[in-house]
Structure formats: C-alpha cells, structure tokens
C-alpha cells in the first residue's frame, strides 16, 4: 500500500507520539502532507519533496532498543 493510505496504515499501528510539530525530547512521527505542509497546494508540497506517503520521524531520547521495537511494530 502506498501514498496516504500507506501512511495512514503505518500511523494507525504506531505507538509513538504523533504530533504536528517537532520540538520534544520524545520521538515524534509526523505526516507532513496533512500537518506541517497541509496548507500548501499539492504541486508546492511535491516541489518541496513532501509526498502523500511520507512520514517524518524525529528521534528523541528514548532507549534505542525501545525505538527499534516500536518502529518494527509500526511497519508490520
């Protein structure tokens, strides 16, 4: 599954904090197409390299082994 549907599927399974901004010590996952770049036109988003299936992960201070486990659960 690709595009927005694929991103939604991953985000639905993800236990990590989902937030529209980055600036936390916790790991965050963001769907830029609908959050940080949501006000731009589709062509402007694509020109910026933001695609419907893109998910941004801002890694925080959690234990790396915990992060591997959580990310593994998101991608199953």
- pLDDT per position as a tens digit, 9-67: 877 777 666 665 667 788 888 889 988 898 999 999 999 999 999 988 888 888 999 98
Higher-pLDDT residue of 40, 74: 40
Contact by Cβ (8 Å): 54, 31? yes
pLDDT for 73 equals: 83
Other CB atoms within a 10 A radius of the CB of residue 33 amount to 21
Confidence (pTM): 0.71
Span 71-75, average pLDDT: 82
Domains of the chain plus CATH, in order, are: 3-74 (3.90.1150.10)
Contact by Cβ (8 Å): 62, 29? no
């Amino acid at each position: 599954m690709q595009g927005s549907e694929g991103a939604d599927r991953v985000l639905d399974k993800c236990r990590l904090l989902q937030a529209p901004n980055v600036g936390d010590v916790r790991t965050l996952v963001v769907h830029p197409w609908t959050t940080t770049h949501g006000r731009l036109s589709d062509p402007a988003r694509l020109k910026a390299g933001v695609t419907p299936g893109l998910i941004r992960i801002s890694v925080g201070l959690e234990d790396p082994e915990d992060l591997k486990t959580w990310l593994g659960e998101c991608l199953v």
